[in-house]
Amino acid sequence: MRAGEELAWAGEIESGFVTDVQRLLDEQLAGPSDSVRTLIVHDASGTIVATSADATATMGLVHTDLVGRSSWNPLGTAVSEQGTPLPDEQCPALRTLATGEPISDFVVGVLVSETDMAGHTRWLSLSSHPVGVPLAGVVVVATDISDTPRGRDATDNLLATYRLLGRPTSDLILHVDLNGAVLWASDSAAWILGDSPDRLSGQHIVTRVHPDDVPAVAELLAAIRDHAEPARLECRWRVSDGRFHWMATQARPISSESGDLFGAIIGLQDIDKYVLDRQKFAEAQQQYRLLAENATDAVMLMD
């Protein structure tokens, strides 16, 4: 174990497990390296029980952000090299706990900037090492490879993925601050809401929704400020001709490397025809029910 990698443990840990972890570090993971890395120790249940005392060098997180969690990615921002969201169950620690087999050079991207998601994604190479026989836990080594050819290629892939968000699409993507003011909108705003992204910038989203739906959107913003994942909403958004279209509305909070919230990504999908058809069908059902319940004739359904 190199200088700066001393482990900070969470509470009382069984001494035999601590010894096994230290033996692994001394025998297999020691040695010179120019790379900055962080150590993360999971027990047999998957809970993080120790990290390098300062995990910010690679993870953008402090020790207390990680210990006690089952996720090494508490902000939920990890992506694969292809730019797709990365569920915890795909990451090396849980896979090693499930199989007992080590995993090496598993590359993930972690958001560490509040200003530019793609440009400030830190790329890590994760390796997981089983501890003890029988398996008592896992040590994960996270190495920063952002400034390597592989890391730079991954950033290019991610930037290309983000650029696709602004191309013609059936969805509208909004970046808003915690108050709901639009900071950025994808180009699809032009044909979904009938406004250019520049005209949307600075507008508060509640000014674009139907008055009856304002409370639901206010609840969505409140959930974001409470670090919660807001539920999917169906609400009416005003388009350029003054009419309201039903939109499926989803939001995802965005946090800085310190865990402070600074906004959200909101996705809108036009479902106006689907909702109107559903309402017409419900009205027709109600009309037939009224006829059936109030008819003076006897009605029978036969095979």
Are 170 and 164 contacting, i.e. CB atoms less than 8 angstroms apart? no
| Cα–Cα distance measured from residue 262 to residue 253, given in angstroms and rounded to the nearest whole number | 8
| pLDDT at site 136 | 92
Residue 207 structure tokens? 């000014």
| pLDDT at site 154 | 78
| Cα–Cα distance measured from residue 118 to residue 141, given in angstroms and rounded to the nearest whole number | 23
121: Cα separation from own chain's centroid: 13
Which single residue is written with the structure tokens 């952002």? 146
Query: What number of other Cβ atoms are within 10 A of residue 220's Cβ?
Result: 23
Which one, of 118, 119, 112, 109, lies nearest residue 142 by Cα? Answer: 109
Which single residue is written with the structure tokens 């027990």? 43
| Cα–Cα distance measured from residue 68 to residue 60, given in angstroms and rounded to the nearest whole number | 17
Residues 6+ apart with CB under 8 A from 170: 188, 269, 270
Q: 61-98 as b/e, with b when 16 or more CB fall inside 10 Å?
A: bbbebbbeeebbbbbebbbbbebeebeeeebbbbbbbe
Residues of the chain with CATH 3.30.450.20: 7-162, 166-279
| pLDDT at site 170 | 57
| Cα–Cα distance measured from residue 214 to residue 244, given in angstroms and rounded to the nearest whole number | 13
| Cα–Cα distance measured from residue 147 to residue 28, given in angstroms and rounded to the nearest whole number | 25
| Cα–Cα distance measured from residue 172 to residue 52, given in angstroms and rounded to the nearest whole number | 41
Residue 215 structure tokens? 């409370």
| Cα–Cα distance measured from residue 66 to residue 49, given in angstroms and rounded to the nearest whole number | 8
Low-confidence ranges of the chain (pLDDT < 70): 1-5, 31-35, 53-61, 63, 74-77, 82-85, 111-120, 157-170, 229-231, 255-260, 296, 299
Three-class SS of 131-155: ECCCCCEEEEEEEECCCCHHHHHHH
Four-point Cα dihedral 10, 12, 16, 18, nearest 10: 20
DSSP state of 46: S
Are 267 and 247 contacting, i.e. CB atoms less than 8 angstroms apart? no
- How large a percentage of the chain has pLDDT more than 70? 77
H-type alpha helices, the chain: 15-27, 56-59, 63-66, 92-99, 149-165, 189-192, 197-200, 214-225, 272-294
| pLDDT at site 5 | 58
H or E element in which residue 249 lies: strand 244-255
| pLDDT at site 99 | 92
On whether the 7-162 domain is CATH 3.30.450.20, my answer is yes
| pLDDT at site 3 | 42
What is the C-alpha radius of gyration for the chain, rounded to an integer number of angstroms? Answer: 26
Grouping H, G, I as helix, E, B as strand and the rest as coil, residue 108 is strand
| pLDDT at site 1 | 46
| pLDDT at site 261 | 76
| Cα–Cα distance measured from residue 185 to residue 167, given in angstroms and rounded to the nearest whole number | 11
Which homologous superfamily does the CATH classification assign to the domain defined by 166-279?
PAS domain (3.30.450.20)
